[in-house]
Amino acid sequence: AQKITQTQPGMFVQEKEAVTLDCTYDTSDPSYGLFWYKQPSSGEMIFLIYQGSYDQQNATEGRYSLNFQKARKSANLVISASQLGDSAMYFCAIRKGTNFGNEKLTFGTGTRLTIIP
Amino acid sequence: ETGVTQTPRHLVMGMTNKKSLKCEQHLGHNAMYWYKQSAKKPLELMFVYSLEERVENNSVPSRFSPECPNSSHLFLHLHTLQPEDSALYLCASSQEFPSGIQETQYFGPGTRLLVL
């Protein structure tokens, strides 16, 4: 079974500061993918960034980067120069296996990020 | 319309009602998913459809009945629900390939369901 742990239920960060959201995972699969999603108060889950277990470099997407430490089973999300619009719930997720037709995402409990002006 | 849409966005129903949630994806994907998001709990995968065939059913009670008439549409039929079924129901879609390569899931805005 796979498991995602997000230990920060809530965070408050000053606007323009960088923020790191923690995520640790547990899996017995040699091949897996790690995802971060953002969920604003509107409810929609917005895909932010993806890291494959065999990727040599940390993933980056604009202001988002993923600090992937495979030995520690850690996949922290870093948001640089935070903005008020970054206030939302953030979910870390892991995808198991490579079976066709069986993509299953396991999500963590999320971190509520609030950006303070 | 672009992306993944869901209707209705909000739904209040009694325990004896029958209602349906609708999801439509405009991304040309071949796999669709239903998730349940309850307060303070991780997202729970309910159903997976790949090429219009149900490939996963995570021990979901029979009062939830999915239907996938084609690769662009997914329904969740609800009947005799319980108050604990109140949650945000999210639909997602993705593209999957026989080689095993899977692309990212994209989510709709969800339906907030309240069962009285």
**pLDDT by residue (tens digit) across A56-79?**
889 999 999 999 999 999 999 999
Percentage of chain B lying above the pLDDT 70 cut: 91
pLDDT in tens, B31-79: 899 999 987 777 888 998 887 777 766 688 999 999 999 989 999 999 9
Q: 3-class DSSP state for residue A97?
A: coil
Verify whether the Cβ–Cβ distance B45 to A104 is below 8 Å. yes
Q: Give the per-residue pLDDT at A14.
A: 96
Residue range A94-98: average pLDDT?
A: 69
Q: Which one of B55, B104, B108 has the shortest CB-CB distance to A35?
A: B104
Percentage of chain A lying above the pLDDT 90 cut: 63
Residue range A85-113: average pLDDT?
A: 80
Find chain B residues with C-beta within 8 A of A110's C-beta: 42
Verify whether the Cβ–Cβ distance B50 to A101 is below 8 Å. yes
Q: Give the per-residue pLDDT at A52.
A: 84
Verify whether the Cβ–Cβ distance A106 to B56 is below 8 Å. no
The mean pLDDT value of chain A amounts to: 89
Nearest C-alpha of chain A: how many angstroms from B108? Answer: 6
Q: What count of CB pairs under 8 Å joins A to B?
A: 70
Q: Is the peptide bond before B8 cis (omega within 30 degrees of 0)?
A: yes
Q: Which one of B104, B106, B109 has the shortest CB-CB distance to A50?
A: B104
Verify whether the Cβ–Cβ distance B42 to A110 is below 8 Å. yes
Residue range B12-25: average pLDDT?
A: 93
Under 8 Å between Cβ of B105 and B4: no
Residue B52 near chain A (CB below 8 Å): no
The mean pLDDT value of chain B amounts to: 88
Which of residues A104 and B62 earns the better pLDDT score? B62
Query: What residues contact B116, with CB distance under 8 A and at least 6 apart?
Result: B12, B13, B14, B15, B83
**Which of A45, A95, A112 is the mutation pick for testing B, counting most B CBs within 10 A?**
A45
Residue B10 near chain A (CB below 8 Å): no
Over the Cα atoms of chain B, what is R_g?
A: 14
Under 8 Å between Cβ of B108 and B27: no
Q: Give the per-residue pLDDT at B65.
A: 93
pLDDT in tens, A30-44: 888 889 999 998 888
pLDDT band at B101 (very low <50, low <70, confident <90, very high): low
